A = this chain, B = another copy of it.
Amino acid sequence: MDERPTLETIRQAHQHIQGYVHRTPVLTCTTIDQRVGAQLFFKCENFQKSGSFKFRGASRAVLLLDGDQAARGVLTHSSGNYAAALALAAHNRGIPAYIVMPSNAPAVKKEAVKNYGGEITFSEPTMSAREAMAAEVQQRTGATLIHTFNDYRNISGYGTAALELLEEVPDLDIIITPTGGGGLLSGTLIAAKGLKPDVQVIGAEPAGADDAYRSWRAGKLIPLERADTIADGLRTSLGERTFPIIKDLVDGIALTSEEAIREAMQLHFERMKIVVEPSAAVPLAVLLEQEVDVTGRRVGIILSGGNVDLMNKLA
């Protein structure tokens, strides 16, 4: 599985993970359409099991393990959605999941991993500490390490959301995804351009974590030095497996402000009555600021996840 995925790989992944993942609905909203002057189709991965599209990749990765590997379990380091997704995918196969989480991860995220039976090891909240701790756990357990986005198995799984979206709404002009490590954007690019070469695919990124934008403009990988955004799922840099796919296939990376991200979340909540996490609101934020011209077009948006700790804020 160390070859760059193709449309065929993504179709295989889709077959493979069916029966484990939800086929999520595609929702529309007249008020938001009027606001942006386009027809928007929202693929609701916030309704996906474990609360995000990450479960598609984690399920694919876990199902690809052979019997020996599976018996030793899987391992990742993640403070966010991949942790819960991998714990649930491992639980579904009945194998151990070892999750390295930063000690300052939100309680709700730790709870989710525990509920799915994942074994948490805490590390200091730096990338190097997380990686060192993951290496230690791997040595102890022999578990297979799976990187949350820089992994072709995951990318194939992530691409299945766009596959379903285009099956349901074939005549899209544009597809927009949030962009953090680039896994969702990479899978979407391969699926969408494979199925419909003339569809435009755009990555949406917070201006406060704009490494994908800068890397795309420069034609080389420029890692993020500092992230400053409420979109907690997008504070990571592109990796050496996602950047080449994006560089080859993407039609553009659009940036957005924090203010627009908040307004987009509000529209999702108040107008669509659905819960999205800040990262998932970034594509709509880009449209509110007219960073992509979508006038009169049919636009698919992948709502990446819905894991936001609302109630703590409401208490």
Contact = CB atoms under 8 A, between A and B. Distances in A.
B51 A273 contact: yes
Contact of A310 (B108, B272, B314): B314
A20 interface: no
Contact of A273 (B265, B270, B306, B313): B306
Interface string A28-70: 0000000000000000101100010000000000000000000
27 contacts: A25-B25, A44-B273, A46-B273, A47-B272, A47-B273, A51-B273, A108-B270, A262-B311, A265-B311, A266-B311, A269-B275, A269-B310, A269-B311, A270-B275, A270-B310, A270-B311, A273-B274, A273-B275, A273-B276, A273-B306, A274-B274, A274-B275, A310-B310, A310-B314, A313-B313, A313-B314, A314-B314
Contacts of A266: 311
Nearest to A271: B51
A154 to B, nearest CB: 22
Contacts of A314: 310, 313-314
Nearest to A275: B273
By secondary structure, the A interface counts as helix
Contacts of A274: 273-275
Copies of this chain, whole number? 2
Nearest to A310: B269
Q: Which of A47, A269, A273, A306 has the most CB of B within 10 A?
A: A273
Interface in A260-305: 262, 265-266, 269-270, 272-276
A313 B265 CA distance: 13
Nearest to A262: B311
Nearest to A273: B306
Contacts of A313: 313-314
Contacts of A272: 47
Given A44-B273, A273-B275, 4 more contacts: A270-B311, A310-B310, A313-B313, A313-B314
Nearest to A277: B273
A28 B16 CA distance: 24
A236 B213 CA distance: 54
Nearest to A266: B311
Interface string A189-209: 000000000000000000000
Contacts of A47: 272-273
Contacts of A306: 273
Nearest to A30: B49
Nearest to A48: B273
A306 B25 CA distance: 19
